[in-house]
Amino acid sequence: MHSDMRFSGHLVALRLATTRIADTFFTWGLRNGERGRAVSRNKDPIPWERHLAWFKAFTEVHGQALYIVDIPAMQGLRIGTGRIHHVDQDDCEISYMLSEAATGQGVGTWLVAQLCKKASHFHYANVIAEVQPDNLTSCHVLEKNGFHLESTNTSDLIRYQKSLA
């Protein structure tokens, strides 16, 4: 899998999210949009204040990271997010979300590969991802990245796992 990704002819970058208002507002807006709520565990809109508190707390935990996918040559246009969430010493869970413009362009496949590389830097042995049963695109993206179906009975979600060992 190539580490370079292009979108609209421009190089795509993956960078750590910051608590700058632009990053927090982007992640909040992407998550609260109709498409974001449709693929999230919690379908309810998240109030800005709650998102801000979550964002700050999440980024302070060792072994967790929130990333922004952007295009530096287009004034840092943000097109997605990726997250690594600490589960236990050996396992982490990843999740990701793309803007509508970025879907179907290979960005999701690239992003999941990058998140797995980042997870290995945290010394996780396994990566878990849970998706809605009707989110066939994410199922395909995970399978292309070497994830294997683990369970279909996890709170109405499909659970995938990949070993990094």
For residue 105, what is the domain's CATH number? 3.40.630.30
Let me know how long the chain is. 165
Task: Tell me the two tokens of residue 67.
Answer: 């990333």
- What global pTM score does this model have? 0.91
pLDDT of residue 83: 96
Residue 28 has pLDDT above 50, yes or no: yes
pLDDT category of residue 3 using cuts at 50, 70 and 90: low
Residue 30 has pLDDT above 70, yes or no: yes
Residue 1 has pLDDT above 50, yes or no: no
Buried b (16+ CB within 10 A) or exposed e, 132-153: beeeeebbebbeebebeeeeee
If one counts the domains in the chain, the total is: 1
Residue 1 included in any domain = no
Residue 73 included in any domain = yes
pLDDT of residue 39: 84
